[in-house]
Amino acid sequence: MSTLSLLHKLKLKKSTTKEKIIQFYDEATEDYEFWSKDLNMHFGYYIPFKTNLFKRDSMLNEMNQQVFNRLDMPKRNSLVADLGCGMGGTIKYGLRKYPLTNIIGVTLSSFQVREGNKRLQDINGLILEENYNHTSFQPNSVDGAYAMESLCHSGHSEQSLCEAHRILKPGSRLVITDAFLKKNADELCIGSNYCYEQLCKGWSLEGLGSIEDVKTSLTQIGFRKVTIEDISFRVAPSVLHVPFAITGFILKKLFRKETLKAQSWKNLKGSLFALLSGLHMHNFGYYIITAEK
Ligand SMILES: C[S@@+](CC[C@H](N)C(=O)[O-])C[C@H]1O[C@@H](n2cnc3c(N)ncnc32)[C@H](O)[C@@H]1O
């Protein structure tokens, strides 16, 4: 590895720690209500004539549906793990659609555990304060697992993928939705590299995995039938909502004479650089990965 790429990796490594992720989500999670009334903390999936381009939540909820379609788990008495569940927006969506299943989410943020669990009362959902890299799920115990825009906080690391493999029952599936690099980080052009670094700093990400490396890791860990779908064009319409959402959020704060918290600024910066990174389509893509144990 060249000195430059080593330096690059070290720099990114320092851009996040578990403490920074916790502080980010403990403080900035409530801002997401502005992004999604249903508290979906991810981008959306556009289907012409099914989702509404102007109603963000219709696209964000469709992304939830796409995940459940691919999990293909038994709908009765099954247990699903949400690895990095945020406020449980996807858990709530899933349990509304499949009320006889059970979904347990894990997150590092105590704010999300406290507030998210309030929204899951009376349904079969629960949020635990746990690290998705080493959960308390028994080996071979869950009928499906998904991770939506969460494993990027650990750089889509082998450790996270191994943990998902450990807890899944044989024959059950892992579904990941996230942005990935189309090449190695040290091969990015200056513009892409700048956007990437700012994105990682803003959103407290360890980094994005390269899609080919992640596919190889999944296979080496023992996953079968690894399917990679590039859904960048389906996701783009919701990414284009970012500038409008940011402007609306700042105007609302100004109107109410509220100051922006440090973590809110970081979130806005992360969102803006997610949009700018997304424009570099030769370097970044948004994917759904499905893999079977
Ligand atoms: C962008 S949010 C996505 C939340 C949710 N998946 C959604 O789409 O609404 C990222 C989530 O990953 C969680 N997270 C990040 N690193 C984690 C870790 N090591 N263990 C558990 N959760 C983690 C954060 O706490 C946060 O809830």
Residue-by-residue pLDDT tens, the chain, 293 positions? 444 454 455 444 446 899 999 999 999 999 999 999 999 999 999 999 999 999 999 999 999 999 999 998 777 899 999 999 999 999 999 999 999 999 999 999 999 999 999 999 999 999 999 999 999 999 999 999 999 999 999 999 999 999 999 999 999 999 999 999 999 999 999 999 999 999 999 999 999 999 999 999 999 999 999 999 999 999 999 999 999 999 998 998 899 988 888 999 999 999 999 999 999 999 999 999 999 99
Residue 186: burial class (beta carbons within 10 Å; 0-12, 13-18, 19+): middle
User: How much is the pLDDT for 20?
Assistant: 94
How far apart are alpha carbons 105 and 224 in whole angstroms? Answer: 24
How far apart are alpha carbons 248 and 265 in whole angstroms? Answer: 14
The CA-based angle 83-81-235, given to 5 degrees, is 55
Say how many Å lie between the CA of residue 153 and the centre of ligand 1.
Answer: 8
How far apart are alpha carbons 142 and 125 in whole angstroms? Answer: 14
Q: Which atom of ligand 1 is nearest to the CA of 42?
A: 8
Task: Write out the E strands in the chain.
Answer: 79-83, 102-107, 125-129, 142-148, 168-181, 224-230, 284-292
User: How much is the pLDDT for 259?
Assistant: 86
Domains of the chain: 3-292 (3.40.50.150)
Residue having the nearest C-alpha atom to atom 19 of ligand 1? 131
Which of 31, 110, 150 gets mutated to test ligand 1 (max ligand atoms within 8 A of its CB)? 150
User: How much is the pLDDT for 101?
Assistant: 96
Give residue 26's identity as a one-letter amino acid code.
D
User: How much is the pLDDT for 6?
Assistant: 47
Say how many Å lie between the CA of residue 228 and the centre of ligand 1.
Answer: 21
How far apart are alpha carbons 208 and 196 in whole angstroms? Answer: 9
User: How much is the pLDDT for 14?
Assistant: 47
Provide the whole-model pTM: 0.94
Query: Nearest CA to 217 among 147, 277, 160, 140?
Result: 160
User: Any residues with Cβ below 6 Å from ligand 1, and which?
Assistant: 21, 25, 40-42, 84-86, 89-90, 106-109, 112, 131-133, 148-150, 153-154
Q: Which two tokens stand for residue 205?
A: 């990400």
Q: Around 242, how many Cα atoms within 13 Å sit in the side-chain half-sphere?
A: 21
Give φ, ψ of 198 to 5 degrees.
-70, -35
Contact of 95 with 101, CB cutoff 8 Å: yes
Strands 125-129 and 168-181: unpaired
Query: Nearest CA to 75 among 103, 96, 104, 100?
Result: 100
